[in-house]
Structure 1
Amino acid sequence: MNLSQVAGGLDTIWVVLTAAMILLMEGGFALLEAGFVRQKNAVSIIMKIFVDITFGALIYYFFGFALMYGKDAFGILGTSGFMLGGDLSHIQLSISHDTYWLFQTAFVVAVISIVSGAVAERIHFRAYILFTIVMTGVIYPLAGHWVWGIGGWLGKLGMIDFAGSAVIHAMGGFAALAAAIFVGPRIGKYAADGMANVVPPSNLPLASVGAFILWFGWFGFNSGSTLSAINGNIGHIAVTTMLAAASGGAAVILFTMFRYRKADPPMVINGALAGLVGITAGCAFVTDSAAIIIGMVSGIAMVLMTELLDSKKIDDPVGAFAVHGISGSIGTLAVGIFAVPELAHSAGQGYAGLLYGGGWTLLGVQALGLVTAAVWGFAASWITLKAIRVIMPVRVSRDEELIGLDVSIHGVPAYSQDQDFIEIGSFKNP
């Protein structure tokens, strides 16, 4: 066995392990969203996450991966690699195509999970399955090809999005915004005068554990995107990821203490996540100091956007757009400002940010890529939901929503007591 074989084996282990870390983030999404919504809709959240993983993985295997990473056609889409077959010779990595598919599948599952929280407590389960199929099979793969596919038009222009602030988070966040607007606010969320009524989270400790799982998985998300266990930049990527998350959370603690006279727990949870989203595009290309700035700006912007959405009567129960759409946008643009030439060259890119003598070129390309991802995510999701509404309801009925989706759609509550079984079950005390 030669050194290249050893390196290839190590890379395979690294990519599989980091893919598993990213897939574990689905547990984080489930706990976070279940904790943020009301108790009567916790099972509904879990079921949507299972749809993300099961349908998402299968659809991405059948044709999503091919559209994203297949042989390029016109810089728009891939044309080979359906069911991992056909010509994939243009993907030249130290890992197998199977391993690469697994890692990318973890990403696609994360994208659709962003949308699930924005439509929590009122989207119909069957409609959500159809939307998941389109998102994981078409909407996300096309956006991914433009930036990451070999021959994609944004990639040719020089756009940098190391682990997906634009392709995953901004695109997914704007898709979530479209979905939240399309299905409308929850019953009773807004008063007649337009003021937002507070819908208390059902379980903040659960939500915080979900956030910590997401934080853990993000090290796989970012560091794993090197696709190599022997990449010397892994440690730096992990450090910038950690600093941005910490900065986002700390900034929101201080900002909400100043703004609301108390540290707001849901905002603080989302503040750390906003920092993670913000650093995802540039984690390999910016300094530690820049990572702290990106995290701080992302966290504060998340708070302000949450307030703005409520003022516009846009109901986003978990803050999906504020966390992913806004922070992803900030992170994408930040690369054009803070990218360090030495780090960019070490990661295979030859670009520098505005502050490091690169001029406006990279920032302009990043802005173009961001606008493209945002418009595509919003418009494609809106059109998809309109098409779904032609064949079935997208939103549950008023009675189903008031009862709660757990019982009305799935037939089981999230929490029950032993005495309930004794009273209504077939086994009773004599």
Structure 2
Amino acid sequence: MNRILLAGAVLAATAAPALAQEAAADPYPYILTSLLFLMGGFLVFWMAAGFAMLEAGLVRSKNVTTQLTKNIGLFSIAAIMYWLVGYNLMYPGDNWMSGGWIGALGFAALEPVGAGADVVDTSYASVGSDFFFQLMFCATTASIVSGTLAERIKIWPFFIFVAVLTGIIYPIEASWQWGGGWLSEAGFSDFAGSTLVHAAGGFAALAGAIVLGPRIGKYAKDGRVIPMPGSNLALATLGTFILWLGWFGFNGGSQLAMGTIGDVTDISRIFANTNMAAAAGAVTCLILTQVLYKKIDLTMVLNGALAGLVSITAEPLAPSLFGALWIGAVGGVIVVFTVPLLDKLKIDDVVGAIPVHLIAGLWGTVAVIFYGEANLGTQLLGFFAIGAFVFVTSLVLWFVLKALGGIRVGEEEEIAGLDTTELGMEAYPEFARG
């Protein structure tokens, strides 16, 4: 099953007349698949808490409240924008404004059936469950941007960017594959979004980091990288475990069907592979940081687990457990070597989201060729087409926001911390800020 088939079935269900009068021959696949979307959706929703805790732990204490505000704000904005325009733009059915490139405009409408009514036809799943599930992926894309740009971006320009990203940019590029657009026709394969969600969020974050610039004092004139430790590694670890848990819904729900024995078996396989990739990414970073730095780096280990998860997301079903292990392990290697590379380029990524989501997303997209029918050329075409679109549109939007009113707080505000200067509210008021 894939999102294109689901989109067609859900749109057909929306248009079906007399929905509450015609009973389906077998309602159980409909019921179980709708339940899969709802359960998967609230697991992916829980990832919003994971991002919030991870970021709160990896920023300095003077910026914690700001990160928490950004995370609850971005999710809420995404929910409204995806309803207002994003869902129909991503799943236009036959209503493409430009063949295979841009979907239809219009807000999502969920047709009521009525309390206690039987399901009327053999449609795939309820429209509401599909909308709910897909919304969570949209919001996840925005969450990736938040951590990279922490500790120096103004809140309201960030929220404006999120509105455009979740309402327009993400739905357009996701429609190219999951909405039956041109990438789908070309044979591109991305099961749950290594490119469409994670790399897309990474490209948006990269564009923002370039326009925004590094934090004050991050890079010394002599080329040294000045460490800026996070405020609470316990929170960062909690956030990683929450994300790990939510990923079972992210990948498992992307099976998009739970009405047969085969579907449930596949979902269990996806869960096992997802877990294995995360574990392998973490263990790889445990070993590599011990060897390279003579001490384990917890922040690298946390990001190694996340990179393993991103790496397996493009194809979590087909590999064996050993396949998931080595795919996730490569994700861990990517983190250890890409984080310092970004610092050499003076790209300040506060939480390491670009290595985890963009670079590991590229790897996961390429790794599909080892276990699926996709070819390398098509996978690279999809990755770089989506990357170019998201990066360029995000870069333009960041420059526009910068020109209109600025996107970065002043030097004094940044040094004092965004919690007091942007919000007037501290996360840890009883402690000295640092």
- Rounded to whole Å, the distance in 2 between the matches of 1:181 and 1:394 is 12
Residue of structure 2 aligned with 1:16, choices 28, 38, 48: 38
- Rounded to whole Å, the distance in 2 between the matches of 1:49 and 1:148 is 26
Deviations 1:368-407 (A, max 9, x none): 0011122122111101111112221111111111111111
Are positions 1:408 and 2:421 aligned together? yes
Q: CA deviation at 1:2?
A: 6.2
Q: TM-score, length-normalised on structure 1?
A: 0.88
- Rounded to whole Å, the distance in 2 between the matches of 1:408 and 1:374 is 34
Are positions 1:78 and 2:107 aligned together? no
Find the counterpart in structure 2 of residue 4 from structure 1: 26
Q: CA deviation at 1:3?
A: 6.2
- Partner-residue secondary structure (3-state), 1:198: coil
- Rounded to whole Å, the distance in 2 between the matches of 1:31 and 1:149 is 32
After the TM superposition, which residues 239-388 of structure 1 pair with which residues of structure 2 at under 5 Å, given as runs? 239-339=272-372, 352=373, 362-388=375-401
Q: Give the partner amino acid of 2:238.
A: V
Find the counterpart in structure 2 of residue 172 from structure 1: 201
Q: TM-score, length-normalised on structure 2?
A: 0.88
Residue of structure 2 aligned with 1:218, choices 247, 263, 268: 247
Q: Give the partner amino acid of 2:415.
A: L
Q: CA deviation at 1:93?
A: 4.9
- Rounded to whole Å, the distance in 1 between the matches of 2:270 and 2:37 is 15
Q: CA deviation at 1:96?
A: 1.7
- Partner-residue secondary structure (3-state), 2:26: helix
- Partner-residue secondary structure (3-state), 1:147: coil
Find the counterpart in structure 1 of residue 119 from structure 2: none
After the TM superposition, which residues 44-55 of structure 1 pair with which residues of structure 2 at under 5 Å, given as runs? 44-55=66-77
Contact in 1 for aligned 2:199/2:358 (Cα 8 Å): yes
Unaligned stretches of 5+ residues in structure 2: 1-22, 112-121
Deviations 1:290-346 (A, max 9, x none): 21111011111111110100111110000010100010000001002232xxxxxxx
Find the counterpart in structure 2 of residue 105 from structure 1: 135
- Rounded to whole Å, the distance in 2 between the matches of 1:93 and 1:167 is 26
Contact in 1 for aligned 2:35/2:129 (Cα 8 Å): no
For structure 1, which segment, 10-19 or 60-69, has the greater mean C-alpha deviation from structure 2 after superposition? 10-19
- Rounded to whole Å, the distance in 2 between the matches of 1:81 and 1:225 is 25
For structure 1, which segment, 153-162 or 6-15, has the greater mean C-alpha deviation from structure 2 after superposition? 6-15
- Partner-residue secondary structure (3-state), 1:78: coil
Contact in 2 for aligned 1:51/1:132 (Cα 8 Å): no
- Partner-residue secondary structure (3-state), 2:108: helix
- Partner-residue secondary structure (3-state), 2:177: helix
Q: 1:162 to 1:93 in 2, by over 3 A?
A: farther
- Rounded to whole Å, the distance in 1 between the matches of 2:231 and 2:105 is 46
Q: CA deviation at 1:245?
A: 0.4
Deviations 1:120-158 (A, max 9, x none): 0011101001100110011111110111112x0000111
Contact in 1 for aligned 2:55/2:351 (Cα 8 Å): yes
Contact in 2 for aligned 1:66/1:84 (Cα 8 Å): no
Are positions 1:417 and 2:414 aligned together? no
Q: State the identity %.
A: 41
- Partner-residue secondary structure (3-state), 2:27: helix
Q: CA RMSD in A?
A: 1.6
- Partner-residue secondary structure (3-state), 1:218: helix
Q: CA deviation at 1:9?
A: 1.3
- Rounded to whole Å, the distance in 1 between the matches of 2:293 and 2:25 is 58
- Partner-residue secondary structure (3-state), 1:180: helix
- Rounded to whole Å, the distance in 1 between the matches of 2:87 and 2:296 is 43
Q: Give the partner amino acid of 1:288.
A: L
Q: Give the partner amino acid of 1:41.
A: N
Residue of structure 2 aligned with 1:389, choices 394, 399, 402: 402
Contact in 2 for aligned 1:286/1:338 (Cα 8 Å): yes
How many residue pairs get matched?
392
Q: CA deviation at 1:81?
A: 5.1
- Rounded to whole Å, the distance in 1 between the matches of 2:302 and 2:324 is 18
Q: 1:216 to 1:85 in 2, by over 3 A?
A: closer
- Rounded to whole Å, the distance in 1 between the matches of 2:141 and 2:109 is 21
- Rounded to whole Å, the distance in 1 between the matches of 2:402 and 2:343 is 25
